[in-house]
Amino acid sequence: MKLLQDRIIEDGNVKSGNVLKVDNFLNHQMDIELFNEIGKEFKRIFSECSINKILTIEASGIGIACITAQYFNAPVVFAKKAQSINIDGDVYSTKIESFTHKKTYDVIVSKKFISPEDRVLIIDDFLANGCALAGLIDIVRSAGATVEGIGIVIEKGFQNGGDIIRNMGVRLESLAIVESMDAENGTIEFR
């Protein structure tokens, strides 16, 4: 997606440790106009799928998932990290290791919100090592529901998450795949 790649080049910031900061438009400040273009693109890509539910994970996936959901006329469910007194005992849970926070989370979705007849589109902002996605796929499959596809805004192509998820037999579409990036001179190459 050219518009997105241009924006990453313009506003993205490459930091050491394979960190790509896009916090001024994607995951801290959020450019809602851009999110609408992203949502339209996901709809175009997955137009032939009969998606009736969108699943994401808190926190930075929620905004993109909600804007995208408008193009599918589907509700959004977001997976929650760790325990909350507001969650019923009846949940699907999985463990996810966060690349960003360097720790392991329990991630849960209430069983009420995923059923065997659901055809789910999973949406997230980033794909790096694939742990978050693998956990969400696990939750959908535990419910007996179908993963119709996965839509990612930015995939770090130089990490192995993309390969892991594609090898699970799931259709994964990333709007921008970063092939390589260089913290020293700030360059970003796309696949």
Which residues are at the interface with a second copy (CB under 8 A)? 17, 19, 21, 23-25, 27-33, 35-36, 58-59, 62-63, 65-67, 69-70, 73-78, 80, 84-87, 100-102, 109-110, 112-113
Nearer to a second copy, 1 or 72 (CB): 72
Nearer to a second copy, 49 or 62 (CB): 62
CB of 27 to a second copy, least distance (A): 8
CB of 177 to a second copy, least distance (A): 20
- Residue by residue, DSSP assigns 96-138 as EEETTTTEEEEEEEEGGG--TT-EEEEEEEEESSSHHHHHHHH
Q: Which amino acid is at 108?
A: I
CB of 55 to a second copy, least distance (A): 10
CB of 88 to a second copy, least distance (A): 8
The H-or-E segment that residue 189 falls in is strand 187-190
* DSSP bridge pairs for 16: none
Distance CA 134, CA 149 (A): 13
Give the long-range contacts of residues 186-191, CB within 8 A, separation 24 or more: 186/13, 186/14, 187/14, 188/8, 188/9, 188/12, 188/14, 188/20, 190/5, 191/157
Nearer to a second copy, 75 or 144 (CB): 75
Nearer to a second copy, 20 or 147 (CB): 20
CB of 169 to a second copy, least distance (A): 27
Nearer to a second copy, 68 or 174 (CB): 68
The H-or-E segment that residue 180 falls in is strand 172-182
